[in-house]
C-alpha cells in the first residue's frame, strides 16, 4: 500500500513540473497524495516506536506494552540506532514543500526527535554518567497508580517488569563510566524512594483477584527486584561514591549549544537567548525599583529608604514575603487556590476550559522527589485523555530546621504561591496539556516541545496579571517581577553553570542578591542546574517567543485581534515549538 502511494505521488510530481505555469490545479492533488502517504508513515512510525520504547508509550497513555521492560544495554542501543537510521531515511522521501503546513511541522518534529535521540546516545552519552537514569521504582509507581487497566492486569504487567529487574540493574552498572557525583547522589535518593514504592505492592496483591499461583510468583519477583535495587544502591555507595572517580557535571559549550538546539528548537541560538535574558534582567530590576519605591513608605513607614536599588527592593520583599502558608498547610494552601483560578479564567473569558478533565493536587510521590523541583504536573497523554492530571506538590521535609522551612515558605509566600499555581495548573501546564491532548496531530502531542510547554506557563502568569488578577497591585506585580526574574536567571544560571564554570558560591550569591531569592531556593536551584542541562533555559525562551508572537499578531490583526481566540488557536497546535506555531498562525 505504501509503495502504491509512493508511485502515484512521484508520477504526479513529475506531471506538475511539466505543466505550464497557467495550470497549477494539479498541485493540490499532489499535496493531498503526499499528505496521505505521510499520514500513513506517521501512524506506522508511532506504532513501531511504542514497541521500541514502551516506557515512552506509557508516559503518553499508550499501555499495550506495559509488561515490557527495556534492558538498557548495548544491544538496545544498537536497535535504537538502526530504528533511527531507518526512519530518517524514510522521512527523506517526503520533501517538505510537498506537504501541507501542519504536516511540515510534524516532519520537523519527527526529524528532530530522531536526530536528537542519536546525538544523545552517541555524543552526549548520559547513559554512561547519569546513574539516576535507572530507576525501576518510577515505572512501577506509575503503573500502580494508573487507572488505565483493572488492578489485576496492572499487577501482572508490574510482575513481568519486576522479573527482569536483575538484568535491568546489571545493565545499568555495566553502562556507568565515571558518573557525576551529583547524579550518583540523586540516583541513591530516588532508588531508595523506588524501594518505598515496592512496599504497598504486597497489600495490592493481597486484595487483588490474582490466582494463588500468580500471587506466589509475584512475591518471589518482588523480593528479587527489591534485592536488585538494594544492590544497585549499595554499588553506587561503595564502588562509585567511595572510589571517587567522577566526571564533571558540566557538559561545556559545544554540547550545551547542540542540546539547546535539539531541545528548545528556538528561532535563536543559545548564546542569543542568554544575551536576551541578561537584557531582560535589567528591565525587570528597573521596574522592581520603581514599584519598591512606591511601596516602601507603606510597609516601612518613617524609615529612610536605602539609596541602593537592590537593597530597597530587598527591604520591601522581606516585608511582603512574611505572609505565607503554615509549614504543615502548604499542600492545602495550593488546593484552596485552584477553584479561584478556574473562576477567574471563566469570568474573564480567557479561554474555554473543560470541567470533565480532573486535576488532582497530591503530595509528590517519593520516587519523584530530590531533583530540586518543588512542584510539577504529571499529565495523561493523548491515548489516556480521561485519566487524572496530577499536580505534584512536595511537602516540606520533616528533617528541615525551622529556619530552613521559614526560608522556603517565604520564597513561596501568599503572592508567589498564586503565581506558582497559575504556572503549574490554571491556565498554565494543566490547561495547556488538556488542549494538547485534543490536537488532531498525535505527533504534536507526543513529541511536545519543552520550551513551548514551559513558555506557555510563564506567559499565562503575566497574562493573568495583565487581565486584572491580583487587582493590579504593586505588591502582586513586584513579586511577579521577582518570579519572572527567577525564570530569567534560570537561563543565565544554566549557561553560567554548564558553559562558564561559575562556582556554587558565586551562583548562590547571584541568585540571592540579584534574584532576591531565599537561601533554600538558591541552593535548590544550584542543585537543579548541576543535574540538568538546557531545561532551565526553556522557560524564558518559550515565554519570550510566545509574547512576541502575540504582539506580532496584535499588530497584524488590529481591532480584529481577540485574546481568547489567540489563546485557543495557539494551544490548538499541541505542544509544537513556538517557531512552527508562529509560521502557521501568521498564515491565517
Residue-wise pLDDT for 116-127, tens only, equals 999 999 999 999
Weakest mean pLDDT among 88-97, 236-245, 432-441, 553-562? 432-441
Tell me how crowded residue 272 is: count the other CB atoms within 10 A of its CB: 12
**DSSP label at residue 269:** -
**pLDDT of res. 216:** 97
Mean pLDDT computed over every residue of the chain: 90
Weakest mean pLDDT among 25-39, 95-109, 307-321, 504-518? 25-39
What is the mean predicted confidence (pLDDT) over 93-109? 93
Question: Looking at the predicted structure, is the pLDDT value of residue 361 above 90?
Answer: no
What is the mean predicted confidence (pLDDT) over 458-467? 98
- What's the pLDDT band for 30 if we cut at 50, 70, 90? low
Q: Which residue, among 307, 385, 155, 33, has the nearest Cα to 315 in the 3D structure?
A: 307
**pLDDT of res. 20:** 32
Measured at the CA of 576, the angle between CA 553 and CA 64, to 5 degrees, comes to 150
Question: Looking at the predicted structure, is the pLDDT value of residue 286 above 90?
Answer: yes
What is the mean predicted confidence (pLDDT) over 328-334? 90
Question: Looking at the predicted structure, is the pLDDT value of residue 27 above 70?
Answer: no
**pLDDT of res. 28:** 55
**pLDDT of res. 372:** 53
Residue-wise pLDDT for 137-188, tens only, equals 989 988 988 878 999 999 999 999 999 999 999 999 999 999 999 999 999 9
The CB-side HSE value for 454 (13 A sphere, CA atoms) comes to 20
pLDDT: which is higher, 29 or 254: 254
Q: Which residue, among 392, 364, 68, 70, has the nearest Cα to 197 in the 3D structure?
A: 364
Instruction: For 326-359, give one letter per residue: b (16+ CB within 10 A) or e.
Output: eeeebbebbeebbeebbebbeeeebbebeeebeb
Cβ-Cβ contacts under 8 Å for 335 (sequence gap 6 or more): 361
* pTM of the entire predicted model: 0.85
What is the mean predicted confidence (pLDDT) over 222-227? 97
Rounded Cα distance, 398 and 576, in Å = 40
What one-character-per-residue DSSP string does 294-356 give?
A: HHHHHHSTTSPPPSSHHHHHHHHHHHHTT----GGGHHHHHHHHHHHHHHHHHHTT-S---TT
Q: Is the peptide bond before 427 cis (omega within 30 degrees of 0)?
A: yes
Amino acid at each position: 500500500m505504501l509503495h502504491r502511494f509512493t508511485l502515484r505521488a512521484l508520477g504526479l510530481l513529475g506531471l506538475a513540473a511539466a505543466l505550464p505555469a497557467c495550470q497549477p490545479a494539479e498541485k493540490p492533488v499532489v499535496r493531498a497524495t503526499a499528505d496521505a502517504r505521510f499520514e500513513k508513515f506517521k501512524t506506522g512510525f508511532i506504532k513501531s516506536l511504542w514497541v521500541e520504547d514502551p516506557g515512552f508509550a506509557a508516559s503518553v497513555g499508550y499501555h499495550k506494552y506495559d509488561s515490557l521492560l527495556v534492558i538498557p544495554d548495548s544491544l538496545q542501543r544498537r536497535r535504537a540506532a538502526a530504528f533511527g537510521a531507518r526512519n530518517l531515511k524514510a522521512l527523506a522521501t517526503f520533501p517538505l514543500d510537498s506537504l501541507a503546513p501542519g504536516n511540515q511541522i510534524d516532519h520537523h518534529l519527527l526529524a528532530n526527535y530522531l536526530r536528537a535521540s542519536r546525538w544523545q546516545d552517541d555524543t552526549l552519552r548520559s547513559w554512561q554518567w547519569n546513574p539516576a537514569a535507572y530507576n525501576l521504582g518510577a515505572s512501577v509507581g506509575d503503573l500502580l497508580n494508573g487507572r488505565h487497566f483493572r488492578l489485576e492486569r496492572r499487577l501482572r504487567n508490574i510482575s513481568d517488569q519486576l522479573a527482569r529487574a536483575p538484568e535491568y540493574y546489571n545493565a545499568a552498572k555495566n553502562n556507568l563510566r565515571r558518573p557525576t557525583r551529583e547524579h550518583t547522589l540523586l540516583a541513591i535518593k530516588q532508588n531508595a524512594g523506588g524501594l518505598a514504592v515496592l512496599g504497598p505492592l504486597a497489600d495490592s496483591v493481597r486484595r487483588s483477584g490474582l490466582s494463588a499461583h500468580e500471587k506466589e510468583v509475584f512475591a518471589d519477583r518482588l523480593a528479587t527486584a527489591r534485592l536488585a535495587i538494594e544492590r544497585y544502591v549499595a554499588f553506587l555507595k561503595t564502588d562509585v561514591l567511595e572510589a571517587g572517580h567522577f566526571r564533571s557535571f558540566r557538559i561545556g559549550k559545544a554540547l550545551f549549544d547542540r542540546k539547546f538546539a535539539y531541545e528548545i528548537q528556538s528561532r535563536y541560538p543559545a548564546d542569543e537567548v542568554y544575551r536576551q535574558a541578561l537584557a531582560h534582567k535589567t528591565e525587570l530590576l528597573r521596574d522592581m525599583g520603581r514599584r519598591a519605591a512606591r511601596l516602601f513608605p507603606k510597609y516601612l513607614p518613617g524609615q529612610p529608604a536605602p539609596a541602593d536599588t537592590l537593597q530597597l527592593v530587598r527591604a520591601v520583599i522581606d516585608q511582603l514575603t512574611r505572609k505565607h502558608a503554615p509549614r504543615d498547610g502548604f499542600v492545602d494552601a495550593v488546593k484552596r487556590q485552584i477553584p479561584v483560578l478556574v473562576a477567574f479564567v471563566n469570568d474573564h473569558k480567557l479561554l474555554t476550559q473543560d470541567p470533565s478533565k480532573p486535576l488532582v493536587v497530591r503530595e509528590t510521590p517519593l520516587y519523584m522527589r530530590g531533583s530540586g523541583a518543588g512542584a510539577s504536573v504529571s499529565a495523561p497523554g493523548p491515548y489516556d485523555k480521561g485519566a487524572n492530571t496530577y499536580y505534584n506538590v512536595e511537602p516540606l521535609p520533616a528533617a528541615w530546621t525551622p529556619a530552613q522551612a521559614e526560608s522556603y515558605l517565604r520564597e513561596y509566600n501568599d503572592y508567589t504561591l498564586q503565581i506558582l499555581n497559575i504556572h503549574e495548573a490554571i491556565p498554565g501546564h494543566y490547561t495547556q496539556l488538556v488542549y494538547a491532548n485534543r490536537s488532531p496531530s498525535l505527533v504534536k502531542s507526543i513529541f511536545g516541545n519543552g520550551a513551548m510547554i514551559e513558555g506557555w506557563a510563564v506567559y499565562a502568569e503575566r497574562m493573568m496579571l495583565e487581565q486584572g488578577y491580583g487587582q493590579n497591585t504593586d505588591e502582586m506585580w513586584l513579586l511577579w517581577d521577582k518570579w519572572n526574574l527567577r525564570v530569567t536567571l534560570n537561563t543565565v544560571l544554566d549557561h553560567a553553570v554548564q558553559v562558564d564554570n561559575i562556582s556554587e558560591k558565586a551562583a548562590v550569591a547571584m541568585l540571592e542578591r540579584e534574584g532576591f531569592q531565599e537561601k533554600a531556593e538558591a541552593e535548590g536551584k544550584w542543585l537543579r542546574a548541576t543535574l540538568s542541562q538546557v531545561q532551565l533555559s526553556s522557560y524564558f525562551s518559550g515565554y519570550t517567543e510566545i509574547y512576541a508572537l502575540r504582539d506580532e499578531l496584535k499588530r497584524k490583526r488590529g481591532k480584529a485581534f481577540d485574546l481568547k481566540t489567540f489563546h485557543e488557536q495557539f494551544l490548538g497546535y499541541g505542544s509544537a515549538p513556538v517557531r512552527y506555531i508562529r509560521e502557521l498562525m501568521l498564515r491565517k
